Structure 1
């Protein structure tokens, strides 16, 4: 009888010990779960901090446009689509660039040549099914004019690839106009000037370096069995035909733009 009582007591003690261990394990599990949640929250906080602290990647391309200061030379690109977000592109130059004694293409008596800051935002192209826009956020020129014909639809010329079909879009009269459905762009003054292109997407812009006046094709549309056809092309234009950016393309009405006097 005593042995049975001892065994019973041992079993009871074992059960109590098991219950204590189970309770401790449950408490430990809760503590570990709380710790895991705190670690996950800290990781989220760190990721958020890094996203906010790290600057947006910028891609810089310096271009040099030679040729003549009496001509404007084409520069064109296509903004990224919706999946990328808003495309940002800045065309700039500091006032003293190309102001060395042996340079000075615009003003031979001063280091002050031309300052330019043109900041654009845009998305896709006219042919895309995405947002399709371009806005001028900021535009400043000093000492002389350098930028012209800024447009979401690159200002170019158009011609038929197949003379037996209709011309797609405008430009039948051979004029320079916003005809390109595939590119955005502008014209920059030549003569020996450096410009900096800063973007938030990969890839270089296309441009004339001033070494030739021969035209360049932007795009050809000549699909078999289509009723229309077109070739969009660009070439330098005289500086006397310069067109300042249109003020109503600036989205911030509290910062009106007044074009500087023509140099």
Structure 2
């Protein structure tokens, strides 16, 4: 009986140990599952800025359904020096929107665009204040005009009770000191990749819209933009851009005499 009792106690102890181990394994599994879920949630939400990188923000500009013979205004204000150099890429895949047939049924090669811009600040800012075209590529059809550090716009009076800013006259074509921008071709959609989190502005209407009103005790001005037809574009927002895949070619070509 003594041996049987001892064996019984050993078996009971083994069973209890097995139960304890099983319970602990269950707790470990639960903790592993919780940690895995936390990691998955972090992986799905983490951005480059959260791990000492630089965030990129996406935005879509949809001008489909509008006339492909018109360029529509798109404008923004870049952050200053402390944000580092701003990067903006405006792009579209060459066959994008083909299902909407902007140039007719069966046309698949619509228009490709890769416009890479870099800059800091705006004309009225006290920081570095520049914008450069790093690269530009347009395929099949042109998509962009009027790339400008000072957005090409029209000066208007706000109340008519004060002189216009810097002697501008109402209706005069000028450059906005608060905004940079471009004009994008209608009938198409575009992707924006940028290093600032607030949205880029654009207008889809055929009439003039105000970007901003500035009124002081001594002067006033409204900075207004509107779309321009392709027939108007050369005279108002500039000529067609040539493709430049070599970085900063537009600036370098203007600065240096070409060698022959």
Once the 2 structures are TM-superposed, how far is the Cα of residue 63 of structure 1 from its aligned partner?
1.3
Paired residue for 2:196? 201
- 2: distance between equivalents of 1:254 and 1:121? 12
What secondary structure sits across from 1:134 in the alignment?
strand
Alignment of 1:204-215 (within 5 A): 204-208=199-203, 210=204, 212-215=205-208
Deviation, 1:218, is 0.8
Contact 1:158 1:170 (8 Å CA) reproduced: no
Given that residues 147 and 244 in structure 1 are in contact (C-alpha distance below 8 angstroms), is that contact kept between their aligned partners in structure 2?
no
**Could you list the per-position Cα deviations for residues 119-173 of structure 1 after superposition, in whole angstroms to 9, with x for gaps in the alignment?**
0001111111000100000011111111011100000111122324321147526
1:176 Cα deviation (Å)? 3.5
CA distance in structure 2 between the aligned counterparts of 1:186 and 1:234, rounded to whole angstroms = 11
Specify whether residues 236 and 254 from structure 1 end up closer, same or farther in structure 2 by C-alpha distance, changes over 3 A only: closer
Query: Counterpart of 1:154?
Result: 151
Instruction: Give the distance between the partners of 1:112 and 1:135, measured in 2 at CA.
Output: 29
Where structure 1 has 5 or more consecutive residues not aligned to the other structure, the ranges are 1-49, 258-263
Query: Is the CA contact (8 Å cut-off) linking 1:70 and 1:189 kept in structure 2?
Result: yes
Instruction: Summarize the Cα distance change of 1:203–1:152 in structure 2 as closer, same or farther, 3 Å threshold.
Output: same
CA contact (8 A) 1:99 1:110 kept: yes
Indicate conservation of the 8 Å contact 1:107/1:113, yes or no.
no
The Cα shift of 1:70 comes to 1.5
CA contact (8 A) 1:88 1:120 kept: yes
CA distance in 2, matches of 1:157, 1:85: 30
Q: In the TM superposition, what whole-angstrom CA distance separates every residue of 1:33-71 from its partner, at most 9, and x where no partner exists?
A: xxxxxxxxxxxxxxxxx99x9753110001101321121
Matches for 1:200-239 after TM superposition, within 5 Å: 200-208=195-203, 210=204, 212-223=205-216, 225-226=217-218, 228-239=219-230
Aligned to 2:73: 74
Residue 98 of structure 2 aligns to a residue whose secondary structure is: coil
> What TM-score results when the alignment is normalised by the length of structure 1?
0.68
TM-score by length of 2: 0.69
Deviation at 1:201, TM superposition (A): 1.2
Distance 2:201 2:241 in 1: 23
Q: CA deviation at 1:188?
A: 0.4
DSSP 3-state at the match of 1:166:
coil
How far apart are residue 73 of structure 1 and its match?
0.5
Which of 109, 125, 128 is 1:128 aligned to? 125
RMSD: 2.8
Higher radius of gyration, 1 or 2: 1
